[in-house]
Structure formats: C-alpha cells, structure tokens
Amino acid sequence: MDLGFRMHAERTPNPNSIKWVLGQTVADVVASASFSKGVTPEISPLAAAILEIDGTEGVTLGPNFVTVSKAEGVEWTDLAAPIVAAIKAWAASGESAFGPAFEPPAKEDDDVVTARIRTILERDVRPYVEQDGGEIVFAGYHDGIVEVILQGACAGCPSSTITLKMGIEARLKEEIPEVRSVVAL
C-alpha cells in the first residue's frame, strides 16, 4: 500500500526557522548541509528552489528534513505554501537534493583530541541540534578552544548561547579534559 508523500512542519526554538520533516531521505550524500541565497540548482536543486522564494534566507538539508530560515518582517503565512510546493516538486522529481556540483567538505587528518571532538559532536550533539532543525559544523580546535558553526535554525536562535555553553561545551568537557571552551564562529 502506497501512502504517498508525507511531510509535516515543526516549530524550532528560532522563530525565524521552521523545520519540515519528510517521510523520505533528503540528505543522501552528507549528514547535513546548509545553503544561502545564490546557491545554484547544480549544487542543490532543492535548496535553490526554496531560496528563489522572496523572504527566504537559508536552507539546511538534514537526513529527513528541510529547515528554512526567513528574513525578519516576513510572515510564515506568506512563505509556507510556496515552500511546501517547492519541497513537493523536488520529492516528485525523484532527484537527489544535491546536484553534480555539490562538494562535501573535505575530511582532515585529525589528531587524537580533534578526532574525539568530532566523534562526540557527530554522535551526541548532532542528533539534538537536528531535532530543532539546525546543524553543527566542526570548524577547528586549538589551545583548548573548540570552534563550531551553528547553521539552520540554530543560526541566530535566542537559545543558541545556552545550547553552546550548557550543552555542547559541557558535553565535550565531560569527555575531553583538554577542552576549555566552545565558541561559535
């Protein structure tokens, strides 16, 4: 029995971002990826279609979700229908959310501490951040400071400082004594 296309919207802690959860895989090439205005269909046909909608500012593609961030002063009531239409059109096309020009971030050769940080971020932090429609990207580690980039619903979210210090930093310090602080770039 074919139940057809399934999708529902979820609010995020960021009032300028909404997470659309699909009943199918979205990010099939990487765990997640974020895009902003100017992305082309050759990089991500799905993100490009959504970002063509006036008032949208960012798109994060996750394992089974699409988080869309809007500009201040634009109402979700004006954006929801065209966003849903763009997602449905992509789903009906059967194509990947990522085009032939998409390049996943290169893996670096990590030292032991950096490898442990990446593991904890992927295993323990990423699932919680994704629940809220966000994405966390490891940006670097030096002198006891972990640098991350918060994207999707986490970018500009009023709760992101609490998430960063009470959640991510506390979790990393618990496992890795070398970590002194976590900062968002």
Which tens digit of pLDDT belongs to each residue from 49-80?
Answer: 999 999 999 999 988 999 999 999 999 999 99
Torsion of CA 106, 111, 116, 118, to 10 degrees: -20
Q: Which domains does the chain have, with CATH numbers?
A: 7-93 (3.30.1370.70), 112-184 (3.30.300.130)
> Is the pLDDT assigned to residue 30 strictly greater than 70?
yes
**Strand partners of residue 171:** none
Compute the mean pLDDT over every residue in the chain, rounded to the nearest whole number: 89
pTM (2 decimals)? Answer: 0.71
pLDDT score, position 106: 64
Per-residue pLDDT of 106-146, as tens digits, reads: 666 778 889 899 889 988 888 888 888 888 888 889 899 99
Per-residue pLDDT of 31-56, as tens digits, reads: 888 899 999 999 999 999 999 999 99
Higher pLDDT, 2 or 173: 173
Confidence tier at 89 by pLDDT (50, 70, 90) = very high
- In the predicted model, what is the mean pLDDT of residues 72-95? 95
**DSSP-derived pairing of the beta strands 181-184 and 145-152:** parallel
**Strand partners of residue 152:** 134
Confidence tier at 2 by pLDDT (50, 70, 90) = very low
Residue 60 and residue 88: Cα distance in Å, rounded? 16
pLDDT score, position 108: 65
- In the predicted model, what is the mean pLDDT of residues 17-39? 90
- In the predicted model, what is the mean pLDDT of residues 157-168? 82
Residue 135 and residue 31: Cα distance in Å, rounded? 9
